Amino acid sequence: MEESLNCPRCGTEMLAQRRGRATVNQCPDGHGVFLSRADLGEFIDAENAWHTSGSSHHTAPLPRITADMTSPPPSTPRDPAWVATLFN
């Protein structure tokens, strides 16, 4: 059984939530989320896999800025980063 954590800012007991293979501890008063180094590694691995999966989740390459550039046309909305979908 994991020991509960208290928010370092307000002292309130944090809510532990499983997200995939990681546990995220979140302050119910909105002071942040906290996770172990191993859980952060899980998120980083999942985020990198999401971007390299070959599906529709692409990050746009940054354009080279030159003096003769004009504004690009409006882009189509992209999916958010994988980790952002955990907190919607």
Q: What is the pLDDT of residues 26-57, one digit of tens each?
A: 999 999 999 888 888 888 888 777 767 766 55
Is residue 11 over pLDDT 90? yes
Using the predicted structure, report yes or no on whether residue 70 has a pLDDT greater than 90: no
Q: Does residue 10 carry a pLDDT above 80?
A: yes
Q: Is 70 among the domain residues?
A: no
**Which pTM does this prediction carry?**
0.53
Residue 65, in any domain of the structure: no
Residue 24 lies in a domain: yes
When divided into structural domains, the chain yields a total of: 1
Q: How far apart are CA 15 and CA 23, in angstroms?
A: 10
Residue 59 within any structural domain of the chain: no
> Would residue 18 count as lying in a domain?
yes
- Hey, what are 22's tokens? 């990681």
The DSSP bridge pattern shows strands 15-19 and 33-34 to be unpaired
For the cut 80, the answer to whether the pLDDT of residue 66 exceeds it is no
Q: Above pLDDT 90, what percent of the chain?
A: 26
Beta strands in the chain (DSSP E): 15-19, 22-26, 33-34
Hey, what amino acid is at 71?
A: S
Greater model confidence, 50 or 17? 17
Three-state SS letters, 11-56:
CCECEEEEECCEEEEECCCCCCEECCHHHHHHHHHHHHHHHCCCCC
